[in-house]
Structure 1
Amino acid sequence: MKFRSVIIIFAILTSCTGHNRMRALLDTADSLVDIRPDSALAMLDRHESVADSMPTGMQMRYRLLRAKAMNRAFVPFTTDTVMKDVTTWYDRHGNIHERMMAYYLLGCVYRDMGDAPTALVQYNKAVELADTTADDCDWHTLCHIHGQRAELFHKMASPEYELEEWKQTAAKAWRAKDTIMALRAYELQADTYYMMYCADSVVSITESVVELYNRYGRRDLAAGALPSVIYVYLNQRKFDAAKKSMDYFEQYSGFFDSGGNIISGKESYYGTKARYYRAIGKSDSAFVYLKKLLMFEKNITCAEIAYRELMGYYANQHQTDSVVKYSQLYCHINDSAAIIRSAEEINRAQVLYNYNRAQQMMIAKTNEVDNYRIMLVAVGLGIIIIIVTSYRLYSVKRQKQKLKLVEENQKFCDLLSKYESASEDMMRAMQGFERYKKEKEDELKRIRKSIATYQETMVHDDDSDMERAMENNEMVKRLHKLAMKNGRVTIKEMNAMVTFVENAFPEFYARIINVDDKLTEREIIICIMIRLYLIPSEISVLLDISGQNLTNIRSKINRKLFGNDGTKKLDYNLRQLF
């Protein structure tokens, strides 16, 4: 079997490992996590039992991908233990995109755990990591981070901060070429303006976003953006505009079944319909929708709207008893709602306090870290100076050694050139100049003795192999010249050497690749170089190894092949293998 074949088979065998299979699985999960998060999560969960046995880097990638899949599949996080470890690891070893994703997911963990201040801190860190000037900026993740911050500010009843985050979300979504996300963020700005009592902004934004949704063929999303503007039209008594928007909402939103019943969670819309019909004088139609709304009076929002509208309805009907009844119910439910809202306000105030306090603690901790950082930088600079100085001294010493090797290789090549010249002269002498022939043979012997001192071998009269290696093979000549110029042998040239020796000296090649001798790949290459009459200093330069290291390797070869210690007679013995 050829030497190159051994290398190829070894590479194939080593690639078929469990870690490679797991790495392929993680690549597959990574490709699915954004488009089919449920499938990605199921795939990762099936291999959770082996996650702890993976190398650290692969294990952290598994944990990060699983958290991303959970977040995309709307599976709530219940603990921060895993993601804290993952974020700490990526903060030290990850690239900027991995670090940003880790902090974003850690923020999502605290979001699900109800810790809004800590969630905002992690989102802020993720945003700070984004390089918006880079060509590979992760705009997609960045727009999701701003969206999450907007949701938190919405829960905190901070519409000014929420509005700014929705604007940032839309801008980043356009950069990410996520049209629907950008329009959704634009749409939610209208809801925020409604909370701020900016009716004109609600109308202008809703009209624009509905037109854009329709332009992209998404009537369902256009219809879903209308509730806020419907409330504004009713408040402004623009009943025609309100009716047009309600009809569009009911026809295209997809929230209604064939019987005109709205999906769960959106029942308060019946109150909007009742309000509209009562305002235009259709009390019977208004009463129908109020009856529907009363079916959900366990929902405090639905009950509050229903009692208020029924109170007005019976006032129009001049039914005093019913007015008193629903007035009392409205007052009671209003008190309950007030208590709930008061509790929510207290919670929001506490959350804002916690957030501000967390910010102050972070600033104090940052100052402390800065002091340690200055000290570490000073120590680090000292270590770097020592390392650089030591390296420069080592480099100077190594350069001198290389120059010495190059000088010796130059001398050796000069000798080879003289040998070649003398060989040509001898060929001419063979045509009849016996005396000239004898002189040149003597000169060849003297030069061979000089070459032998470099080659660490014995001089013998049968030099046919040496002539083929030095005279007839251009590859060997190139190797001599390459060593003289302080060059490095390439993989292609190594393969050429192996092929040449395998064909020219099959018995020699069979012996050095014998598995019983246990020669390493480098040791085999060195044996081949010795067989091609390359001297130790040339081998040292071509393989970029020190002279002492080469001596140690030669000694190991001599012991494995011939049972001898040291390097004595190694070159000679190798060339006797034919």
Structure 2
Amino acid sequence: MLKRFFHICVLVLLLNACGSREAQRLLDQAEAVINENSSEAITILDSISNDGLSRSQRMRRLLLLTNAQNKCDTVFRSDSIQKLLVNYYESHGTANERMLAHYLLGRAYQDIHDYPNALNNYQKAANHADTTDIECDYALLSRVYGQMSDVFYHQNLIEEDLKFNNLAIRYSWKAKDTLAAILGMAGNIAAYKGMGKPDSALSICEQASVLARRYGYKNLSAGILGGAITILVEKDSLNKAKTFMDIYESESGFFDENHDIVKGREVYYYPKGRYYLAVGKYDSAEHYFRKELREGKDFNNQNAASRGLALLFQKTHRPDSAAKYALYSYTMNDSVYANMATEEVERMKAMYDYSRYQESARLANEKSEKMHKRLMVIGFSTFSIIAITFIVIRRERKKRIAALHHYKQSIAELAKAQSEVIRLRSHGRNIETALSQAQSNIEELNNYTSELNLLIEKKEIDIEILRSDIEKYQSKETKEREIAEAKLKDSEIYHIFDKLAAKGNLPSAEEWQQMYMMVIDFFPSFYQFISSKKYALNEKEFNTCILIRLHFRPKDICNLLGVSSAYITKIRNTMMKKLFGVEGNSKKLDEEILGL
């Protein structure tokens, strides 16, 4: 029984998973067609049952369905669904979905004539648009600003209308929606007229018409030109006005087979009547003004027709009371209407500005808090990195100082040991000479020589150990050795020897030991070479090699060693054989030593 229950549960889960995947597919399909065919999108969304859907799928279905209904020009009677969407998407979904939710709530408020809340939600929708993201829905952002422009247009706030309509045009181009961009440009014609800028209105009209024709919207291109006819008549550009009228009537698609304009566009009879009035065809002008008065029953047509007739009667010198009354009535009604609309919407705009500034303050505060937290994290991280770096550098510096101290100590011990070796070698040679002169004491001297050799060997072992320590350190300091030649003449001991040579004075044993230390430090390979020739060089020969390597002249070498120039010449001639195993003169010796 338990096993059967388990199988049933698994089957239910599989069916739910399959249903969820199918629902996801249908949601994606509806979203793909919603802009081109919103009715088809509604049909697809209606076919999806909420049963088995996750919460995110149910909310996405409701968002897409409400958006599709809005695209079908559904008039919203309530804001409850849109508020539900806003509450959910404020903490879920993408930036585009949050923008859409607030946009739909704004549309609901606009339909129920709550314009302050409509504008407030349009502004919130725009604030949610992430224009730094390549996935930003610029087409939706364009619609948001277009609706804001529409609200201000119908309330006669022209500057606000123009401002937001230009934003709508900008984002239509970014969305590559050329039709929406061109329609937005055409919408600016009335705004520029209302601001008393006929040249700007005419310029934008012609630009929009040219663009519409370029992108293949022939009817739209012709329809846009209707907005320029009155301006051209008032500028006395009658030939151009006639050209625009002919294009408008033949290509816009607004006229039936009897050449009558479609219902709702009777306002065109006013600019046409104005044209005939300007060219002196008064009967035709009166015909079209009366046709508009007869067929166009709305406020705008009645006032336009009355104004046209008033102008006609004035021009034909028929100052009858009907014409005068029509002109007076139109002027008064137009003034009262404009004043009432402006006062009402100025109050609304103040409410909107207050809401907008509140929202801006909230967003700025949130941004400031985020920035403060970010700076705290960056500051702590920077401090930690600096502290760790300081500790590591300090530890490495201690190691380096210790290694340098050991290196210096090793050099001093090596120089001392080498000095002792040289003296012992010289002493050994003296003993050998004594042996040849005093055969009677040979056994005693041999024993002493053996002990001496053992002592020399021990010192040489010490030298090798010290040299090994030095070489380890020198392997880390290779780059510094490359500039040894340059640093040579700056050393203190070099300057001491240079002064002693100039005055003809001999260096002390301590000064020679300092010289050995410097040569070991600057020329370790050279020093190893001359010191490795066991019993080959006596002390003067060893020191002569060092002074040649340090670029001292033969005269200076004589002064520093306390010998004659003949002696130096002699030993330099014999040292070539000892050091390099070949015959050669003193010049050749200098070249070989300086090349080490």
Residues 1:37 and 2:38 aligned together:
yes
Distance 2:171 2:94 in 1: 21
Structure 2 counterpart of 1:330: 327
Q: C-alpha deviations, 1:63-100, integer Å up to 9, x for none?
A: 10111101111112121111111111111121222222
Larger relative contact order (C-alpha < 8 A, sep ≥ 6)? 1
| Kept after mapping to 2: 8 A contact 1:30/1:40 | yes
Using a 3 Å threshold, how does the CA distance of structure 1 residues 171 and 340 change in structure 2: closer, same or farther? closer
Backbone CA RMSD of aligned residues: 3.1
In structure 2, the residue corresponding to 1:92 is in which secondary structure?
coil
Cα deviation digits, residues 489-530 of structure 1 (max 9, x gap): xxxxxxxxxxxxxxxxxxxxxxxxxxxxxxxxxxxxxxxxxx
Distance 1:171 1:376 in 2: 35
> In structure 2, what is the equivalent of residue 299 of structure 1?
298
Give a deviation string over 1:367-402, Cα, whole Å, max 9, x none.
99899999999xxxxxxxxxxxxxxxxxxxxxxxxx
Shift of residue 271 of structure 1?
1.6
Moved more, 209-218 or 356-365: 356-365
- Consecutive unaligned residues in structure 2, runs of 5 or more: 1-6, 375-596
What residue in structure 2 maps to residue 269 of structure 1?
268
Q: SS of the residue aligned with 1:190?
A: helix
| Range with bigger deviation, 50-59 or 95-104 | 50-59
Q: Trace 1:154-165 onto structure 2 (pairs within 5 A).
A: 154-165=153-164
Q: Which amino acid aligns with 2:37?
A: R
**Structure 2 residue identity aligned to 1:256:** F
State how far apart, in whole Å, the 1-side matches of 2:175 and 2:360 are: 32
Letter in 2 for 1:39: E
Which residue in the other structure is 1:255 paired with? 254
Equivalents in 1 of 2:263, 2:80: separation in Å? 35
Q: Secondary structure at the match of 1:295?
A: helix
Comparing 101-110 with 248-257, greater Cα deviation is found at: 101-110
Q: Distance in 1 between matches of 2:358 and 2:338?
A: 30
The alignment partner of 2:295 has SS state of: coil
Give the alignment of 1:427-506 within 5 angstroms: none
C-alpha distance in structure 2 between counterparts of 1:372 and 1:115, whole Å: 33
Distance 1:102 1:345 in 2: 30
Please state how far the C-alpha of 1:61 moved relative to its aligned partner.
Answer: 0.8
* CA offset digits 1:394-420 (Å, max 9, x no partner): xxxxxxxxxxxxxxxxxxxxxxxxxxx
SS at match of 2:90: helix
Partners in 2 of 1:219 and 1:374 — Cα distance?
52
1:178-327 equivalent positions in 2, closer than 5 A: 178-296=177-295, 298-320=297-319, 323-327=320-324
Query: Contact 1:131–1:137 at 8 Å: present in 2 too?
Result: yes
Change (3 A) 1:318 1:134: closer
Q: Distance in 2 between matches of 1:161 and 1:314?
A: 37
Q: Which amino acid aligns with 1:140?
A: A
Encode CA deviations 1:237-266: one digit per residue, 9 max, x unaligned.
Answer: 111111111111111111111111111221
Residue identity matched to 1:286:
A
Q: Does 1:83 align with 2:82?
A: yes
* Shift in alpha-carbon separation, 1:190–1:332, aligned structure 2, 3 A: closer
The residue number in structure 2 matching 1:149 is: 148
Q: Is the 8 A contact 2:168 2:184 kept in 1?
A: yes
> How big is the shift at 1:142?
1.7
**Amino acid corresponding to residue 216 of structure 1 in structure 2:** Y
Equivalent-residue separation in structure 2 for 1:81 and 1:12 (angstroms): 33
Query: 1:1-41: CA deviations, max 9, x gaps?
Result: xxxxx9xx979944664444433332222222111112222
CA contact (8 A) 2:89 2:101 kept: yes
**What is the CA–CA distance in structure 1 between the aligned matches of 2:296 and 2:177, rounded to whole Å?**
40
Cα distance in 2 for residues equivalent to 1:167 and 1:344 = 23
**In the alignment, is residue 357 of structure 1 matched against residue 354 of structure 2?**
yes
Give the C-alpha shift of residue 297 in structure 1: 5.7
Letter in 1 for 2:325: Q
For 2:171 and 2:132, locate their aligned partners in 1 and report how far apart those are by CA, in whole Å.
13
**Residues 156 and 341, structure 2, Cα contact 8 Å, conserved in 1:** no
Could you tell me how far apart the structure 2 residues matched to 1:181 and 1:61 are? 26
1:112, CA displacement in angstroms? Answer: 1.8
Alignment partner, residue 425 of structure 1:
none
Opposite residue 23 of structure 1, the aligned amino acid is Q
357-366 or 133-142, larger mean C-alpha shift:
357-366
C-alpha separation between the residues in 2 aligned to 1:258 and 1:204?
Answer: 32
In structure 2, C-alpha distance between the alignment counterparts of 1:85 and 1:194, rounded to whole Å: 41
In the other structure, the counterpart of 1:344 is: 341
Q: Do the aligned partners of 2:119 and 2:148 also contact (CA within 8 Å) in 1?
A: yes
**Residues of 1 paired with 2:333 and 2:181: CA distance?**
38
Check whether the contact 2:229–2:241 (CA below 8 A) recurs between aligned residues: yes
Conserved in 2, the CA contact under 8 Å of 1:143 and 1:169? yes
Inter-partner Cα distance in structure 2 for 1:307 and 1:294: 7
1:324 shift after superposition: 1.2
- Pair 1:364–1:314, CA change in 2 (3 A): closer
SS at match of 2:266: coil
- Letter aligned with residue 197 of structure 2: C
Is the contact between residue 300 and residue 337 of structure 1 (CA under 8 Å) also seen in structure 2? no
Shift of 1:151: 1.6
Q: Give the conservation status (yes or no) of the 8 Å contact 1:155–1:348.
A: no
Q: Identity of counterpart residues, as a percentage?
A: 30
Q: Which structure 2 residues correspond to residues 87-126 of structure 1 after superposition, within 5 A?
A: 87-126=86-125
Deviation at 1:281, TM superposition (A): 0.5
Alpha carbons 1:194, 1:228 under 8 Å: kept? no
User: Are the aligned partners of 1:300 and 1:333 in contact in 2 as well (CA < 8 Å)?
Assistant: no
Cα separation, partners in 2 of 1:258 and 1:157, compared to 1, 3 Å = same
TM-score by length of 1: 0.58
User: Quick check: 1:206–1:229 contact (8 Å CA) kept in 2?
Assistant: yes
Question: Offset at 1:355?
Answer: 1.2
1:446-467 deviation digits (Å, cap 9, x = unpaired): xxxxxxxxxxxxxxxxxxxxxx
| Partner-residue secondary structure (3-state), 1:157 | coil
Contact 2:19 2:52 in 1 (8 A): no
- Show the counterpart of 1:28: 29
In 2, Cα distance between the equivalents of 1:248 and 1:371?
A: 57
The question of whether the paired residues in 1 share the 8 Å contact of 2:266 and 2:296 is answered with: no
State whether residues 52 and 59 of structure 1, in contact with CA within 8 Å, keep that contact through their aligned partners in structure 2.
no
Q: Output the CA distance in 1 between the equivalents of 2:208 and 2:144.
A: 22
Q: 1:15 to 1:297 in 2, by over 3 A?
A: closer
Question: Which structure: larger Rg?
Answer: 2
Unpaired segments of 5 or more residues in structure 1?
A: 1-5, 378-578
Q: Deviations over 1:257-297 (max 9, x none)?
A: 11111112211211211111011100111122123112136
Letter of the 2:327 counterpart? Y
Match of 1:225, as an amino acid?
Answer: I
TM-score normalised by structure 2 residue count: 0.56
> Helix, strand or coil: the match of 1:356?
helix
What residue identity is the alignment partner of 1:128? N
**Residue deviations 1:532-570 (CA, integer Å, cap 9, x gap):** xxxxxxxxxxxxxxxxxxxxxxxxxxxxxxxxxxxxxxx
Is contact 2:269-2:289 (8 Å) kept?
Answer: yes
